[in-house]
C-alpha cells in the first residue's frame, strides 16, 4: 500500500529527523484505535463490523510497515542527528511492534468465532481503557520530539517529557494489575467455557498487555534521548 502522505521523505528529513517517526506513530495509533470498536462488535456478535474493523487494522499495520521500511531505506548515513541513528531506528521498531500486536489481535478475532464471557466483560473494558490511555500517552511523548529538538533536549521541555515518561511507567504498572485480575477472573470461570476458547482468551489478554509493554518501551527509548 502506498503511504498516504503528501510530503516526500526527503522533505520530512529536511524539516526534522523526527517527522517520519511521528508520522509512523500516528499510523500505529490509528491502528490501535480500532481495537475498542472491534471488541464492541465482538460483544454484539456483529461479524460484518468485526470484518470491517479487523481488516482496517490489517490495512493500517501494512501502512505502518511501509512507512518503517521507507524510513530505513531513505535515512541518510550522513544526516547530522541530535540522537543516535540506531536509537532512532529502534524507536520506530518499538512503535511498529505495537501495530504488529494489534494486527495479531485482529487476525485472531477474524479467524476464530469467539464470544465474550459475561464474567469477563467488565474487566476487559477496564483493560481496553487502560490500553488506550497508555497508547495515547506514548503517542503524545513522540509528538514532543520537535519541541525537545528546539531546546536541545534540555530545560523545561525535558522536564515535561520526563514527567510524561514517568506517567507511562505508572500506567503500565497499573495495567499489570488489571491483567492479573483479568486472568484471575478467566481462571475462576474457565470450567464453564470451551477449553480451546479459554486458551485463545488467555492469548488475547496477553496481546492486549503486550501493547502496554511496548508503549513503555517507547517511553524508555525516549528517556535515552533526553539522558544522553
pLDDT digits (tens, 9 = 90+) for 165-183: 889 999 999 999 999 999 9
Distance CA 20, CA 75 (A): 10
Question: How many CB atoms within 10 Å of residue 118?
Answer: 8
CA angle 170, 210, 162 (to 5 degrees): 30
pLDDT, residue 80, reads 54
pLDDT, residue 77, reads 59
Taking 50 as the pLDDT cut, the residues of the chain under it are: 1-13
Here the cell at position 162 is: 520526563
| 53-88 tens-digit pLDDT | 999 999 999 999 999 999 888 776 555 566 677 888
| Count of alpha carbons within 13 angstroms of residue 27, beta-carbon side | 28
Please provide residue 226's backbone torsions phi and psi, each rounded to the nearest 5 degrees. -90, -5
pLDDT, residue 148, reads 66
Distance CA 228, CA 22 (A): 21
Task: Note whether 165 and 141 are within 8 A (CB).
Answer: yes
* Torsion-angle region of 213 (φ positive above 0: left; ψ -120 to 50: alpha; else: beta): alpha
Going by C-alpha positions, the residue among 129, 92, 117, 109 that lies closest to residue 212 is 129
Domains of the chain: 9-227 (1.20.58.220)
pLDDT, residue 153, reads 55
Q: Between the CA of residue 186 and those of 46, 66, 151, what are the distances in Å?
A: 23, 37, 49
Specify the 3-state DSSP secondary structure of 76.
coil
Distance CA 118, CA 69 (A): 42
Q: Between the CA of residue 48 and those of 112, 176, 213, what are the distances in Å?
A: 14, 32, 31
Amino acid at each position: 500500500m502506498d503511504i498516504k502522505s503528501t510530503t516526500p521523505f526527503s522533505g520530512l528529513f529536511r524539516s526534522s529527523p523526527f517527522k517520519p517517526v511521528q508520522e509512523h506513530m500516528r499510523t500505529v495509533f490509528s491502528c490501535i484505535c480500532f481495537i475498542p470498536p472491534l471488541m464492541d462488535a465482538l460483544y454484539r456478535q456483529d461479524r460484518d463490523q468485526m470484518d470491517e474493523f479487523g481488516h482496517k487494522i490489517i490495512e493500517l499495520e501494512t501502512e505502518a510497515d511501509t512507512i518503517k521500511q521507507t524510513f530505513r531505506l531513505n535515512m541518510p548515513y550522513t544526516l547530522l542527528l541530535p540522537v543516535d541513528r540506531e536509537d532512532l531506528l529502534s524507536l520506530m521498531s518499538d512503535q511498529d511492534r505495537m501495530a504488529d500486536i494489534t494486527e495479531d489481535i485482529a487476525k485472531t478475532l477474524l479467524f476464530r468465532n469467539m464470544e465474550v464471557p459475561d464474567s469477563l466483560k467488565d474487566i476487559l473494558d477496564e483493560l481496553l481503557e487502560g490500553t488506550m490511555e497508555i497508547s495515547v500517552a506514548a503517542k503524545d511523548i513522540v509528538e514532543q520530539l520537535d519541541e525537545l529538538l528546539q531546546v536541545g533536549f534540555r530545560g523545561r521541555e525535558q522536564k515535561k517529557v520526563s514527567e510524561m515518561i514517568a506517567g507511562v511507567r505508572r500506567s503500565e504498572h497499573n495495567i499489570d494489575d488489571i491483567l492479573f485480575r483479568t486472568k484471575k477472573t478467566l481462571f475462576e470461570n474457565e470450567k464453564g467455557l470451551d477449553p480451546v476458547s479459554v486458551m485463545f482468551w488467555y492469548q488475547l489478554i496477553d496481546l492486549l498487555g503486550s501493547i502496554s509493554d511496548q508503549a513503555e518501551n517507547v517511553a524508555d527509548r525516549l528517556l535515552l534521548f533526553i539522558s544522553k
